[in-house]
Chains A and B, each alone.
Chain A
Amino acid sequence: MNRVVVDARRLLCPMPVIRVQDRVAQLDPGTIVEAVCTDPGALNDIPAWCRINGHRVLETSSEEDEYRVVLEVGGRE
């Protein structure tokens, strides 16, 4: 399965969401996207963005000062 990494380190909210949003717009449904961030707010914001836009969060994690959100791109309406 395709897996795309979005490097949003050193970016502050809402830039990580924008980076994910703009990348997801280019991807097919079912693609797995892994966002790597340093703003802890991304752990709330990216899942919130996924919920309202029909994408599925598969996993969130944090390690030291890095935060990861793994999501699956949802279908287009």
Chain B
Amino acid sequence: MTEPRKAVALISGGLDSLLAARVMQEQGIHVEGINFFTGFCVEGHTHAIRRRDRDRPKRNNALWVAEQLGIKLHIVDIIEEYKQVVFNPRHGYGANLNPCLDCKIFMVRKAHEWIGQHGFDFIVTGEVIGQRPMSQRRDTMPVVSRESGADDLLLRPLCAKNLPPTRPEREGWVDREALYDFSGRSRKPQMALARRFGFEDYAQPAGGCCFLTDAQYSAKLADLWRARGDKQYELDDIMLLKVGRHLRPAPHYKVIVSREEGEGNFLQGYRNQYPSIRCVSHPGPLALIDGVVEEGDLELAARLVARYSKGRDQERVTLEYRDRDGATRELVVTPLRPDQIPEAWHL
């Protein structure tokens, strides 16, 4: 008996990749999943941080999809390598700082490397022509195949009939006639196929899977780059952009103010990396200071933090300033009034 052909499927956790992998299984292909973590994946972060969201059921959709399919899932940390995609996307950004086409090329390239290392035959994605304005168009599909180096080892089972035959089809590893010709933004064909396979519970159509597609998040990342004079970031930077209110009273520093207890607990973990301010005379937030502050800046930052405390209407509020080394001192300030906080400070 011959060994079945082996494919690795890019599993995002959404419906399309679930279906693409299932279509391959139906043809007797041995499928394993691969999921890349860029640091910008939405996947439950806000949910994990915020206290009020903690009791809501949560799951990692890529793991859940793999479990539904009965396949192994390999989750790969690409945080460091992915920076070059974010900094210098050859094909540019989308509406925000989302480098969708370069991202897809990068992930398929990584999958291509992976199949070479693990003895797999080809790569499967859930792409559909016309589904996405930047990365899933008729003219960009060949770009992804070519620039990733995967060439005709990249098979898109959901729209394969709209594309030239790939090697798995030409060699008879898969039956092209049993593949699909989906196109456009309608989700109806996918939903019908999901019903046929008996999938009733699946993640809503993707689109919100990456923070870089979010306008507010992208604005905060652009601000970070401006303030540092360099397009750089570390994982902690991009995690912190997901948490709290970010206000920049001056170009050389910003204040990250927790909005509720869970965020306060999360920010607490960064107190050895950033100076912090917390309210001690009244219930209030924890705030981190990102930048180098002078004495005058510190007073303004403290007044700003006091504004978000329960003492916001009091004449005097006491806060504790803590530097990175743990040295503390007391600050007594008058909270800023709302009209003293310019809209432009809010990132």
Task: Verify if B37 is at the interface (C-beta below 8 Å from A).
Answer: yes
Q: What 0/1 readout, one digit per residue, does chain B (54-66) give for beta carbons within 8 Å of chain A?
A: 1000111011101
Contact of B48 among A12, A17, A52 (CB under 8 A): A12
List chain A residues, Cβ under 8 A from B269.
10
Is the beta-carbon distance between A49 and B54 smaller than 8 angstroms? no
- Asked if A39 meets B67 with Cβ closer than 8 Å, knowing A15-B77, A17-B60, A45-B59, the reply is no
Task: Verify if A29 is at the interface (C-beta below 8 Å from B).
Answer: no
Looking across the interface, which residue of chain B has its beta carbon closest to that of A53?
Answer: B72
List chain B residues, Cβ under 8 A from A22.
77
Is the beta-carbon distance between B60 and A45 smaller than 8 angstroms? yes
Kindly identify, within residues 1 to 30 of chain A, every residue whose CB is under 8 Å from any CB belonging to chain B: 10, 12-15, 17-18, 21-22
Kindly identify, within residues 33 to 50 of chain A, every residue whose CB is under 8 Å from any CB belonging to chain B: 39-41, 44-45, 48-49
Looking across the interface, which residue of chain B has its beta carbon closest to that of A20?
Answer: B75
**Cα distance A28–B269 in the bound complex, in angstroms:** 33
| Contact-residue size bin, chain B (C-beta under 8 Å from the other chain) | 20 to 34
- Asked if A21 meets B75 with Cβ closer than 8 Å, knowing A12-B48, A44-B60, A49-B63, the reply is yes
Chain A residues within 8 Å of chain B by Cβ, number: 20
List chain A residues, Cβ under 8 A from B18.
none
Kindly identify, within residues 161 to 191 of chain B, every residue whose CB is under 8 Å from any CB belonging to chain A: none
Most buried by A among B43, B72, B75: B75
List chain A residues, Cβ under 8 A from B67.
48, 51-52
- Chain A interface residues (CB < 8 Å from chain B): 10, 12-15, 17-18, 21-22, 39-41, 44-45, 48-49, 51-53, 65
If A17-B60, A53-B73 are given as contacts, then 10 extra A-B residue pairs at C-beta distance below 8 Å, sorted by A number, are A10-B269, A12-B48, A14-B62, A14-B63, A18-B75, A21-B74, A41-B58, A44-B58, A48-B64, A48-B67
Q: List 11 A-B contacts (CB under 8 A).
A: A12-B48, A12-B49, A14-B37, A17-B60, A21-B74, A40-B48, A40-B54, A41-B48, A44-B60, A48-B63, A53-B72
List 3 tightest A-B contacts by C-beta distance, closest first.
A48-B63, A39-B48, A45-B60
